[in-house]
Amino acid sequence: MVGFIDSSLYPQSQAVANSYVKRGYNVFVTETLALLSHIYPKSVRLARVIGKKVGEFLVKLTEQGLSADNLELVGLSLGAHIMAYASKHLYAVTGKKPSRITGLDPAGPCFRSLPAKYKLDSSDAVRVDVVHTNIDGFGMAEPLGHVDFYVNGGEFQPGDITFIPCLIICSHLKSVIYWWQALEHPTKFIGVKCDSVQDARLARCYNNTETNYLGPKTNFSTPGIFYLSTTNVFPYFRGKAGLVPENEIYTSFIRKINDEDNFVV
């Protein structure tokens, strides 16, 4: 499910879809650009309508033989909440939940103060995982899944040009790129468990030993909050090197920004 002012035809949507196809999935990518190109508050109001329509489509698929046990939903930003609405409708009609929902930096504006029934929540699927990349901007700091990854602290991401971080939109959209590469490299994006979101924000988690993979290999029997470190060079994964504190200047800069809770605009 694409997000606000997003299209199924955009390169990032096609890249993620192709990665799923290579893994043997049948893939549907929703096209909602015409509906989600209004001013943001109006698009938020339309999200519930779109989610119900997607849910109705999923009900029809189950009537044609699709098992909810084989159904996985992925949504970026506003699309993450739309997938939650779709799942809620599916459950209301069939009593079945999707096997998995993955939220890619679920939208924060207009959602942060809402109760669980109006946004993505861990109850919306058998397994819910979330990638946080811009928690105080377009994303959301609150853990929403069974497993929540806070990439590089979850607030700002390192830019591809050394020492220059992604700004708000860039960091928000990096969630898609990380997920795409996690599909391509299922055991290379490794997070370390944290005791709190604040610890994840400040990368104060390296005293813990529990780890988890971002992507198809995520272990949902090890739920919780995870700090995930990346490089600033495509394809971004650090592998096991990400399980020890980094000394790179750019990650120190990112951490300083997160610690001061400043926006760089």
User: How many Å apart are CA 228 and CA 212, to the nearest integer?
Assistant: 9
pLDDT, tens digit, for every residue of 146-188?
Answer: 999 999 999 999 988 877 778 888 999 999 999 999 999 999 9
Judged by DSSP in three states, 128 sits in: strand
Determine the average pLDDT of the residues in 215-242. 96
Is 69 catalytic? The answer is: no
User: How many Å apart are CA 157 and CA 229, to the nearest integer?
Assistant: 10
> pLDDT category, 34, cuts 50, 70, 90?
confident
Is 77 catalytic? The answer is: yes
pLDDT, tens digit, for every residue of 126-143?
Answer: 999 999 999 999 999 999
Q: Of the residues 7, 87, 105, 129, which is catalytic?
A: 105
Q: Of the residues 7, 19, 43, 77, which is catalytic?
A: 77
What's the CATH number of domain 11-260, 3.40.50.1820, 3.40.190.10, 3.40.50.10490, 3.30.70.270? Answer: 3.40.50.1820
Verify cis geometry, omega within 30 degrees of 0, for the bond prior to 235.
yes
Helices 40-63, 78-94: axis angle to 10 degrees equals 40
Question: Pick from 150, 163, 164: which is nearest to 192 by CA?
Answer: 150
**C-alpha pair distances (Å), 111 with each of 34, 115, 120, 230:** 22, 8, 9, 27
**Helices vs strands, H then E, count in the chain:** 6, 7
Q: Of the residues 122, 172, 175, 229, which is catalytic?
A: 172
Is 121 catalytic? The answer is: no
- What's the distance, Cα to Cα, between the start and end of the chain in Å? 28
User: How many Å apart are CA 100 and CA 129, to the nearest integer?
Assistant: 8
Please give the share of the chain, as a percent, with pLDDT higher than 90: 76
Are 165 and 158 a contacting pair, CB within 8 Å? yes
Domain ranges of the chain: 11-260
